[in-house]
Amino acid sequence: MGEPSPDGRFGEYGGAFVPESLVPACLELDQAFRSAWGDQAFHDEYLQILEEHAGRPTPVTNATRLSERLGVRVLLKREDLTHTGSHKINNVVGQALLARRMGKHRVIAETGAGQHGVATATACAMFGMECVVYMGEVDVARQALNVFRMKLLGAEVRPVASGSRTLKDAINEALRDWVASVESTHYCLGSVTGPHPYPWMVRELQRIVGDEARGQCRRILDGSDPDYVVACVGGGSNAAGTFAGFVDTEARLVGVEPAGGAAVGRGVPGVVHGSKSMLLQDEHGQVSESHTISAGLDYPGVGPEHAHLAAMGRAVYVAADDAEVLDALQLLAVTEGIIPALEPAHVVAWVARAAGTDDLPEGSTVLITMSGRGDKDAQQVMDLLG
Amino acid sequence: MGAAPGALEAHLRSRRDAGRKLLVPYVTGGLGEHWLEAIEAMAAAGADAVEVGIPFSDPVMDGPTIQEASQRALDGGATPLGILAQLEAIHACVPLVAMTYYNLVFRTGHRRFARSLAASGVSGAIVPDVPLEELGEWSRAADDAGVETVLLAAPVTPDDRLAHICERSRGFVYGVSVMGITGERQSLAESAAVMAKRLKAVTDKPVLIGIGVSTPAHAVEAAVEADGVIVGSALMRRLLDGADPDELGALVGDMRAALDAG
């Protein structure tokens, strides 16, 4: 998973399909990130903040009891143990540093489950920046706890009432804000989606997940890599960061999409939010609404690099439905004492279903990226389980 | 680029060169029962071309008015090719310019979309999320079909890029008046005049200013430096509020009269 082409392509996917008003900002961001990412001082500060404030490196946990139950050896990369509770902090710290480097003091973000919003609000509080987070009304209701956390952290949360009132529409509204504010504002996009350079930049800022896990797995597995590396995919940032650490190994890469929002599995090529990728849409090109209990995966598109990895056959994309996700969440809770967020519970669901089949043969070693913890979903899960 | 001007550009140039300020109103295709009549009424009231929006589910360049207009049209069953088929039937005595988002073009297929525009009598296209860098595939199809692709220039566009946009734009050049999305505004942004001046300095193609042009006074003010204006949200808000084609025609007539009076 190297650099995209100069026009921001991963194979045939990617690009920068943005209005002229945003083109100079995307070009500036590409230059700024390129320069920062090649600067040791920037790297050092990024790592120092992640270590001192966010609890990196995160451990890899041997899921002993779950492994016994499933007949495959499960390792968990514990992004749920980071400050703010998910991998989102990795990306946000990098982008906040970049915003400061570009002299931008206002930051906007979109959020679905609220994890990216909370992470952005946290970084803005640390850096003394103004923060506005767009969030669909449906998500504001089902992730009320995270809305409150963002407000406590000093961010303004703007509910979005248009369209499906979820992540897709929050991105639309953030882009509309950015069209008007681009000269003073950095758009801190939360996934490997959007126009170039975001898919590349966010993957690079998340590759710390995969790079750490690779070394940790080798220590645990006596120098070997896992047979399977599995992560959930909405836009796909934790998966992209995880896969980046293993793409040049023999490990099989598996992305798990929600059954009601499987852009790679059920979409066709399309262009939304600035890049060409796989997209759920109708025959005319109108973007479909996704449907899943997981606000963080409730997105009809997917990052362009995932579309490319799928087209090349380097990664495969499977799906898990709402019911098996709820079962999986409880399974991990009672076997490992870990309550996962609904998003990585999709991965546990697929591993539980596939274990012992040709898709995941008995005795395999599988690394799961536990992208976030379940506190934010406790109320919703309580309601769903009655 | 020594290509001869297309029909849209030739039409707008000749009117401009005759001393007329250009007026291009916008109508969301498929909105309500009377959108086709609205186009005809606007043309009859002195529009020099009419921009027809082909609604998209995720219009990121549009503010609340056009978003609502688009959503209502989609809820009413509007489809891109359906709108174009309906346009074939009308007799607007001025050129039509389609405005849409790239995914509808991409999903339909570049060549099929371009040929469908041409077959419906649409002579130009504005696809705001296709900037210069991504223009290749669409512009080849559009050029081949004789559809003139209008490019946008923004206040943040640097000078060298501005020249390149003007060179590549067909029909006219769409100068974005202000950093922002479509929608009515209280006053015309100061950036509108700057935008128009910068464009006029580098191109002889018609220069139209759009976004936030909401009243006859705004139109006159914008057209001091520019060759004309595009008016969308102010008209669509009235259509959403239930105005009939004659009322929309009258609004366009007011703008026409103001522009003619200077």
Domain stop point among A177, A198, A219: A198
B51 is catalytic: yes
Question: How sure is the predictor about A143, in pLDDT bands with cuts at 50, 70 and 90?
Answer: confident
Average pLDDT over residues A165-183: 93
Query: Which domains can be identified in chain B, with CATH numbers?
Result: 24-261 (3.20.20.70)
pLDDT tens readout for residues A41-78: 999 999 999 999 999 999 999 999 999 999 999 999 99
| pLDDT at B1 (0 to 100) | 44
Whether A236 and A378 map to the same domain: the answer is yes
Q: Do the chains contact at A24 and B156, CB–CB below 8 Å?
A: yes
Whether A269 and A332 map to the same domain: the answer is yes
Q: Do the chains contact at B57 and A183, CB–CB below 8 Å?
A: no
Whether A72 and A97 map to the same domain: the answer is no
Whether A77 and A126 map to the same domain: the answer is no
Q: Is the pLDDT of residue A85 over 80?
A: yes
- Domain membership flag for residue A153: yes
- Residue A284 is nearest to which of B60, B107, B129, comparing CB atoms? B107
Give A131 to chain B, closest Cα distance, Å. Answer: 19
Residue B182's region, left for phi above 0, alpha for psi from -120 to 50, else beta, is: beta
Whether A161 and A263 map to the same domain: the answer is no
Catalytic residue among B51, B184, B225, B227: B51
Range(s) of the domain holding residue A333? 56-86+207-385
Over chain B (262 residues), the average pLDDT of each successive run of 10 is: 80 98 98 95 97 97 96 97 94 93 98 97 97 96 98 97 97 97 95 97 98 97 98 97 96 98 88
Which chain A residues are within 8 Å of B151, Cβ to Cβ? 20
Whether A218 and A289 map to the same domain: the answer is yes
Domain stop point among A165, A198, A231: A198
A275 is catalytic: no
Given a contact cutoff of 8 angstroms between Cβ atoms, the answer to whether A132 and A106 are in contact is: yes
Sequence-ordered list of residues with C-beta below 8 angstroms from that of B72, at least 6 positions apart, any chain: B31, B32, B240
Q: How far apart are CA B114 and CA A304, in angstroms?
A: 26
| pLDDT at B3 (0 to 100) | 61
Comparing alpha-carbon positions, the chain A residue that sits nearest to B67 is A162
- Domain membership flag for residue A32: yes
- Domain membership flag for residue A107: yes
Q: Do the chains contact at A20 and B151, CB–CB below 8 Å?
A: yes
- Domain membership flag for residue A82: yes
Whether A127 and A16 map to the same domain: the answer is yes
| pLDDT at B161 (0 to 100) | 97
A124: domain CATH number? 3.40.50.1100
CB-CB neighbours of B32 under 10 Å: 17
Which chain A residues are within 8 Å of B133, Cβ to Cβ? 7, 15-16, 23
Given a contact cutoff of 8 angstroms between Cβ atoms, the answer to whether A118 and A146 are in contact is: yes
Catalytic residue among A79, A86, A88, A343: A88
Q: Do the chains contact at B130 and A25, CB–CB below 8 Å?
A: no
Whether A70 and A133 map to the same domain: the answer is no
Q: Does B79 touch chain A (CB under 8 A)?
A: yes
- Residues from A contacting B (CB-CB < 8 Å) are 7, 15-21, 23-25, 162-163, 168-169, 172, 175-176, 179-183, 268-274, 276, 279, 281, 283-287
pLDDT tens readout for residues A179-209: 999 999 999 999 999 999 999 999 999 999 9
Q: Does B126 touch chain A (CB under 8 A)?
A: no
- Domain membership flag for residue A3: no
Comparing alpha-carbon positions, the chain B residue that sits nearest to A267 is B107
| pLDDT at B101 (0 to 100) | 98
Q: How far apart are CA B199 and CA B157, in angstroms?
A: 11
Sequence-ordered list of residues with C-beta below 8 angstroms from that of A311, at least 6 positions apart, any chain: A11, A12, A13
Among residues B207, B204, B222, the alpha carbon closest in space to that of B258 is found at: B222
Q: Does B143 touch chain A (CB under 8 A)?
A: no
Domain stop point among A198, A216, A233: A198
- Domain membership flag for residue A4: no
Q: Is the pLDDT of residue A315 over 80?
A: yes
Whether A182 and A36 map to the same domain: the answer is yes
Q: Do the chains contact at A23 and B157, CB–CB below 8 Å?
A: yes
Catalytic residue among A67, A77, A110, A164: A110
Q: How far apart are CA B25 and CA B237, in angstroms?
A: 13
How many domains would you assign to chain A?
2
Whether A31 and A63 map to the same domain: the answer is no
Whether A110 and A241 map to the same domain: the answer is no
Whether A179 and A232 map to the same domain: the answer is no
